[in-house]
């Protein structure tokens, strides 16, 4: 089982989540660092409105629950791209770890060969950092 360490700085979250899900399904341990620096592409107003509506849906006791910390937020996006309840998806989802910032134990082992689509590759400049979305949702970390 290989360990793949990914730095999510300026990576588009959807593309990153897709690749992380694929790698985890292939029996790799996937570690994502700097989740708060990842980027969601699109209009800032539409993205914030989308996640605020998700947050207001349901109740605080019964859910559905929307994560407010950037590491949990990115993990939830990855979960949406996997069969996380299934026979193969559950152990694959357990192999994914997300972190805020860069822990010392993983700082020197970032994979150089992993390429993710950066926010600078977008045709437009419409994007929002995950940390900004989480702060609007009420996240404190």
Percent of the chain with pLDDT over 70: 100
Tokens 């357990």 sit on residue: 94
Q: Is residue 19 part of a domain?
A: yes
116 falls within a domain: no
Residue 96's CB is within 10 A of a number of other CB atoms, namely 22
Per-residue confidence (pLDDT) for residue 75, from 0 to 100? 97
- The per-residue pLDDT of the chain, averaged, comes to 91
Which residues, in sequence order, are CB contacts of 21 under 8 Å at separation 6+? 78, 81, 82, 92, 96
Q: Give yes or no for residue 12 having a pLDDT over 80.
A: yes
- Domain annotation covers residue 131: yes
| Mean pLDDT of the region 10-24 | 94
User: Residue 98: inside a domain, yes or no?
Assistant: yes
Question: Shortest CA distance to 39 belongs to which of 128, 116, 124?
Answer: 128
Residue 109 has pLDDT above 80, yes or no: yes
Omega before 64 within 30 of 0, i.e. cis? yes
In this predicted model, what pLDDT tens digit does every residue of 63-72 receive, in sequence order? 888 899 999 9
Q: Into how many domains does the chain fold?
A: 1
Residue range of the domain that includes 87: 3-111+121-137
Spatial strand order of the sheet with 96-98 comes to 3-7, 29-33, 96-98
The confidence band for 136, taking pLDDT boundaries of 50, 70 and 90, is very high
**CATH number of the domain within which 14 lies:** 3.90.1180.10
pLDDT (tens digit per residue) in 31-45: 999 999 999 999 999
């Amino acid at each position: 089982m290989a360990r793949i360490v990914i730095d999510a700085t300026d990576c588009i979250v959807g593309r990153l989540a897709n690749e992380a899900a694929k790698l985890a399904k292939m029996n790799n341990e996937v570690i994502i660092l700097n989740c708060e620096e990842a980027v969601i592409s699109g209009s800032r107003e539409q993205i914030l409105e989308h996640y605020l509506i998700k947050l207001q849906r349901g109740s605080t006791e019964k859910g559905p629950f929307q994560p407010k910390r950037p590491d949990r937020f990115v993990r939830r996006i990855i979960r949406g791209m996997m069969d996380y309840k299934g026979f193969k998806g559950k152990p694959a989802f357990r192999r994914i770890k997300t972190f805020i910032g860069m822990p010392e134990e993983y700082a020197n082992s970032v994979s150089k060969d992993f390429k993710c689509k950066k926010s600078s590759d977008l045709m437009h400049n419409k994007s929002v950092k995950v940390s900004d979305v989480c702060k609007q949702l009420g996240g404190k970390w």
